[in-house]
Structure 1
Amino acid sequence: MNTGLRITAFAAALAATFGTAYGVGKGADPVFDTASQHAGPSHAAQEKQEKAGGDGHGGHQEKAGGDGHQEEAGAAEKGRTAGGLEISEGGYTLALETPTVTAGDRSEIRFAIKDEHGDNVTGFRREHGKELHFILASRDLTTYRHLHPVREADGTWSTAVELPAAGGYRAFADFTPAGERSTGHTLGADLAVAGAFRPAAMPPVRAAAEVDGYQVALDGGLRAGRAGELTLTVSKDGRPVADLQPYLGAYGHLVALRSGDLAYLHVHPNDGGPGPEVSFTSTAPSAGTYRLFVDFRHEGKVRTASFTVEVAAADH
């Protein structure tokens, strides 16, 4: 393959729409549910069943403590097992006004949430300090951004971002309209990033990650179809970090994305203190390979640790 292959905006759009899953390297520290070794259903079958059924981080101090609330986009109360697979759901649509940006350039992404009449939604319920959470992830799951865009009076949202690599990306909007009693919506739309495209392999499965001099160890695993607990332990220079700072009202946030279709889970931590351990309880919608992105805040800065995990099929 010519590694200097240039993707035009049109070709990048195709890559975003028809993005493929990349192979998974097997590391020495596997993290997975050992309850069963049965093969799971195909992603196409999963999506059919489900449809039937960083930069931009805030730097201000917020109220300490997690609330133990799990925001699984597409959890059982929403009648689905995974979110972000549809651009429209429940009468709302993610209208991405910036479908293409250029790799390496600082760009502004603009979008709106439209109601069933095609009008911009202008009222949102604040959850964890924000009216809307906006996630960008590359199709190969090697680039991830958790952003908090600004809303204009007419309901148009905007955020600056610089994406390092060309290819297909998925944009997720996680929100609850004002006055709505549901647990919220997660909509997804494709974003094309033009530039010199170089395919990247999925990072290997490992139980440890390092970011900015911090070491994060992962214990436990996701389970397909039933709740499992993940515990992350944060240390620096060989010493446990026992003074994590609250970020958006909690000591950690977890987003899980399934390889292939990028089915989305957004999970907040269980009750606990400011470290060094932060635990999450979550249910994976299916067997497969997932990337976990965990945000934590220390010394006034938010950092993201990432892991690749394998989830086995549930027992029958």
Structure 2
Amino acid sequence: MHTGVKITAFAAALAATFGTAYGVGQGLDPVVAEPAPAHDEKHTPASPPGKGGDGHGGHQTAPAGGLQISEGGYTLDLHTPRVTAGERGDLRFTVRDADGRAVTDYRREHDKELHLIVASRDLLTYRHLHPSRAADGTWSTPVDLPRAGGYRVFADFTPARHNAGNLTLGADLAASGPYRPEELPKPERTARVDGYEVELNGALRPGKAGELRLSVSRGGKPVTDLQPYLGAYGHLVALRSGDLAYLHVHPGGEPGDGTTKPGPAISFTATAPSSGSYRLFLDFKHDGVVRTAAFTVHAGAVAADPSGSSDSAPEPGTTGHSDDGHGH
């Protein structure tokens, strides 16, 4: 676990660096409720001097990740490009090397060989999945997407061969059925999740690292006994509205390091690749259940009141589910 966290952004037909709510059965981690509803640091090199990393306001930031289906000699081969909304099915894919061979050797990061994120283009549906891998390199996981429309699939992994760095590859996924677009929820500092409240403090700044501090409480009392989940007390993913640039971060410190407390606060260091609107998803575990709190935030010169007002609809929470039987 790194105490300094670097975020990698990527976008692609759905897919945004940060670091929910449905219990969708085995193989699934938490999901964001509809409507409206941190893994190792990324190793993507920063933009070369003078190249202007993101093209938004001239900030020198790392290239967006997850925008490509192929990168660094590896390709995400999505065997299931479409599913039916509201029906449980299997999502299958393979990661292939430059010679077209299925990758079967990965470096474990945060207890897993590969982390899979599925998000809708309107950022109202979110899944953090941990698929299982067959001997031939084929990955599979159950998935249940409640709403029709376009989605982005992100595979976050580090190949074990040739000292390869961490990669996030993205591919498009379609959920068939009647489609009704929804607006991004309004910014609000407090998210309510299954009887818990999560308060967000700090600001997301384009091209500049900043601290995001999330505090968990229940019934008005701070939660001071958060449980480790994938080697941390919290995991934060951020997706940029529009192109779904993907940001994945982890908190400073880790359970058992002698200084990091199990709540109520979880701190992350994050850098937005550009100004704009982002959707943040915090995974945390308490009483044996993983839950996800979702926030909308603005970075840069976007007119908004990030403090959240009583007139804004509260962020929907997620109904948590036990880790038991996920088949991770």
Q: Give the TM-score normalised by structure 1.
A: 0.77
Q: How far apart in 2 are the matches of 1:73 and 1:258?
A: 19
Instruction: Quote the offset at 1:221 in angstroms.
Output: 1.3
Q: How far apart in 2 are the matches of 1:75 and 1:295?
A: 27
Q: Give the TM-score normalised by structure 2.
A: 0.74
Q: How far apart in 2 are the matches of 1:72 and 1:252?
A: 17
Q: How far apart in 1 are the matches of 2:120 and 2:162?
A: 31
2:46 aligned residue: 76
Tell me if structure 2 keeps the 8 A contact 1:123–1:177.
yes
Which one of the candidate residues 212, 228, 238 is aligned to 1:256? 238
Tell me if structure 2 keeps the 8 A contact 1:73–1:82.
no
2:201 aligned residue: 219
2:291 aligned residue: 303
Segment of structure 1 superposing worse, 133-142 or 263-272: 263-272
Q: How far apart in 1 are the matches of 2:145 and 2:249?
A: 24
Instruction: Quote the offset at 1:74 in angstroms.
Output: 4.1
Tell me if structure 2 keeps the 8 A contact 1:137–1:169.
yes
Count of paired positions: 258
Relative to structure 1, the CA distance from residue 77 to residue 243 in structure 2 (aligned partners, 3 Å threshold; closer, same or farther) is farther
Instruction: Quote the offset at 1:69 in angstroms.
Output: 7.6
Which one of the candidate residues 289, 292, 296 is aligned to 2:280? 292
Counterpart amino acid of residue 137 in structure 1: A
Q: For residue 169 of structure 1, give the secondary structure of its aligned residue in structure 2.
A: strand
Tell me if structure 2 keeps the 8 A contact 1:150–1:158.
yes
**Which blocks of at least 5 consecutive residues in structure 2 are unaligned?**
1-11, 16-21, 31-37, 49-60, 254-259, 303-328
Instruction: Quote the offset at 1:196 in angstroms.
Output: 1.3
Tell me if structure 1 keeps the 8 A contact 2:74–2:96.
yes
Relative to structure 1, the CA distance from residue 250 to residue 287 in structure 2 (aligned partners, 3 Å threshold; closer, same or farther) is same
Q: How far apart in 1 are the matches of 2:211 and 2:193?
A: 22
Relative to structure 1, the CA distance from residue 163 to residue 57 in structure 2 (aligned partners, 3 Å threshold; closer, same or farther) is closer
TM-align CA RMSD: 2.5
Is residue 223 of structure 2 the alignment partner of residue 237 of structure 1?
Answer: no
Instruction: Quote the offset at 1:180 in angstroms.
Output: 4.2
Q: How far apart in 2 are the matches of 1:210 and 1:91?
A: 42
2:172 aligned residue: 190
**Which blocks of at least 5 consecutive residues in structure 1 are unaligned?**
1-16, 21-53, 60-67
Deviations 1:55-101 (A, max 9, x none): 44569xxxxxxxx9862474639993321100000000000000000
2:271 aligned residue: 283
Is residue 238 of structure 2 the alignment partner of residue 268 of structure 1?
Answer: no
Relative to structure 1, the CA distance from residue 273 to residue 57 in structure 2 (aligned partners, 3 Å threshold; closer, same or farther) is farther
Calculate percent identity across the aligned residue pairs.
62
Q: How far apart in 2 are the matches of 1:242 and 1:92?
A: 42
What does 1:164-203 correspond to in 2, within 5 Å?
164-203=146-185
Instruction: Quote the offset at 1:226 in angstroms.
Output: 1.1
